């Protein structure tokens, strides 16, 4: 299952519980919005790819929970400066 909320008008700023019905979501595109916190995606245990580039995300600390699932294969969060998640997180495209 794939969901794209790319460049919404008006921009998405808070995910809140909007993604809760999508518990089997595998691919998520949240790019080009005004999102500051994506930690609510941590309960989406089937995620394989996440694109959250061009947002205002302050922390990816929640990735420790996602990394424990061994499923996340791709994460794009930019212009984030570093990836603090521990392996096996695939933070290949974090800049």
Widest distance between CA atoms in the chain:
35
pTM of the predicted protein model: 0.72
Q: Are 42 and 69 in contact (CB under 8 A)?
A: no
Q: What is the pLDDT of residues 17-68, one digit of tens each?
A: 889 899 899 999 999 999 998 888 888 888 889 899 999 888 877 776 666 6
Can you give the pLDDT at residue 41?
Answer: 87
Structure tokens at 31: 């790019």
Token couple for 94 = 């974090």
């Amino acid at each position: 299952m794939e969901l794209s909320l790319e460049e919404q008008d008006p921009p998405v700023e808070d995910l809140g519980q909007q993604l809760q019905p999508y518990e089997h979501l595998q691919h998520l595109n949240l790019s080009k919005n005004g999102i500051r916190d994506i930690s609510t995606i941590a309960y989406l245990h089937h995620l394989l790819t996440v694109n959250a580039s061009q947002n205002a995300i302050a922390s990816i600390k929640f990735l420790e929970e996602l990394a424990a699932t061994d499923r996340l294969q791709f994460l794009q969060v930019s212009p984030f400066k570093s990836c603090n998640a521990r392996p096996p997180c695939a933070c290949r495209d974090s800049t």
